[in-house]
């Protein structure tokens, strides 16, 4: 595994770009949008799209084979996991060409997250979780834990702790934690969820609770963590959610941004009742928030 520079990418993946232009003509418009309002990044197989909170399309990055997940860091850089190419592309705000490419070494990236403290990039593959250090000279590290046979989604909390969910050998829901500065991914038991009735979906952090989407019960769980275990403090059913896939959602202040059947639903957070707004767009099933609240 290694981080490839843009020059190497241009030679190896000529289909992605024909020049070393690093900022698109839309850069100023996009940068202003990042500074002023919420941006919703959503992959649509061959491209990644950015929308404002009211559904106005701001910009688009093309050239992917199978864009399955997106995430952003604290400065608004966008990371797009291309499952078919087995790499993760990084773009500066407004950029149309990648500034970095992370080689997933034959794995298939399905989810990503960036630490708000260290800037480390975490990627969930089916068989492991790989963390790419912010320092380009450092070597990426792959993590596994005996309790998880297949990994689904990853997410960080405000302290830089990394969480990964997935399934055990018996298809039961499983959760694991990599403490900030730690060296091992350890199982985190949530007694009421550790069974086959619950699924592993997107992961978020609301400032107090770990938030996990369950694609089997169509609920969102707010989990209180203590040591190596957790308890469900609150569960809310997402109205209209009927598709069983590992969904990635976004939290923004007192709003929950939830993708659903080519729509974005906006709920109050914590969610209760029906959506308060939203818009239609080719959102696929993954979104990310790209601005400060």
Task: Assign residue 175 the CATH number of its domain.
Answer: 2.120.10.30
The chain-wide mean pLDDT, for the chain, equals 83
Residue 217 is predicted with a pLDDT of: 95
Q: How many independent structural domains does the chain possess?
A: 1
Residue 136 is predicted with a pLDDT of: 76
pLDDT in tens, 172-209: 999 999 999 999 999 999 999 999 999 999 999 999 99
Residue 101 is predicted with a pLDDT of: 93
Q: 93 is in which domain, residue-wise?
A: 3-289
By C-alpha distance, which of 160, 157, 116, 119 is closest to 136? 119
Residue 27 is predicted with a pLDDT of: 47
Least confident segment among 28-42, 67-81, 142-156: 28-42
What is the pairing mode between strands 189-190 and 229-237? parallel
Residue 222: strand pairing partners: 211, 234
pLDDT in tens, 93-142: 878 899 999 998 888 899 999 999 999 999 999 899 999 999 877 899 99
More reliable by pLDDT, 76 or 157: 157
Whole-Å CA distances, 78 to 51, 62, 96, 222: 13, 13, 11, 26
Residue for token pair 């592993």: 200
Residue 32 is predicted with a pLDDT of: 53
Q: How far apart are CA 57 and CA 48, in angstroms?
A: 11
By C-alpha distance, which of 293, 292, 280, 209 is closest to 49? 280
Name the phi and psi angles at 57, rounded to 5. Answer: -70, 125
* CB atoms inside a 10 Å sphere around CB 230: 23
Tokens coding 139: 């070597």
pLDDT in tens, 226-235: 999 999 999 9
pLDDT of residue 51 exceeding 90, the answer is no
CA angle 86, 73, 236 (to 5 degrees): 90
pLDDT of residue 66 exceeding 60, the answer is yes
By C-alpha distance, which of 116, 120, 162, 118 is closest to 139? 120
pTM metric for this prediction: 0.86
């Amino acid at each position: 595994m290694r981080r490839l520079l843009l020059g190497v990418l241009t030679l190896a993946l000529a289909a992605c770009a024909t020049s070393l232009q690093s900022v698109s003509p839309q850069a100023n418009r996009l940068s202003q949008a990042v500074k002023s309002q919420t941006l919703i990044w959503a992959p649509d197989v061959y491209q990644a799209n950015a929308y404002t909170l009211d559904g106005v399309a701001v910009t688009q990055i093309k050239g992917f084979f199978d864009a399955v997940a997106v995430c952003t860091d604290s400065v608004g850089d966008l990371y797009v996991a291309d499952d078919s190419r087995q790499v993760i592309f990084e773009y500066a705000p407004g950029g149309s060409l990648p500034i970095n490419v992370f080689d997933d070494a034959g794995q298939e990236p399905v989810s990503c997250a960036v630490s708000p403290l260290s800037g480390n990039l975490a990627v969930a593959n089916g068989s492991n979780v790989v963390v790419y250090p912010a320092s380009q000279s450092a070597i990426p590290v792959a993590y596994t834990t005996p309790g998880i046979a297949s990994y689904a989604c990853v997410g960080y909390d405000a302290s830089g702790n990394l969480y990964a969910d997935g399934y055990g050998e018996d298809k039961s829901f499983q959760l694991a934690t990599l403490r900030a500065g730690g060296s091992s991914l350890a199982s985190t038991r949530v007694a009421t969820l550790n069974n086959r009735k619950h699924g592993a979906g997107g992961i978020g952090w609301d400032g107090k609770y770990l938030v996990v989407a369950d694609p089997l019960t169509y609920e969102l769980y707010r989990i209180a963590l203590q040591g190596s275990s957790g308890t469900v403090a609150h569960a809310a059913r997402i109205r209209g959610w009927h598709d069983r896939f590992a969904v990635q959602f976004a939290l923004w202040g007192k709003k929950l941004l939830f993708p659903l059947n080519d729509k974005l639903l906006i709920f109050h957070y914590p969610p209760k009742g029906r959506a308060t707004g939203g818009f239609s767009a080719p959102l696929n099933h993954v979104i990310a928030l790209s601005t400060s609240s």
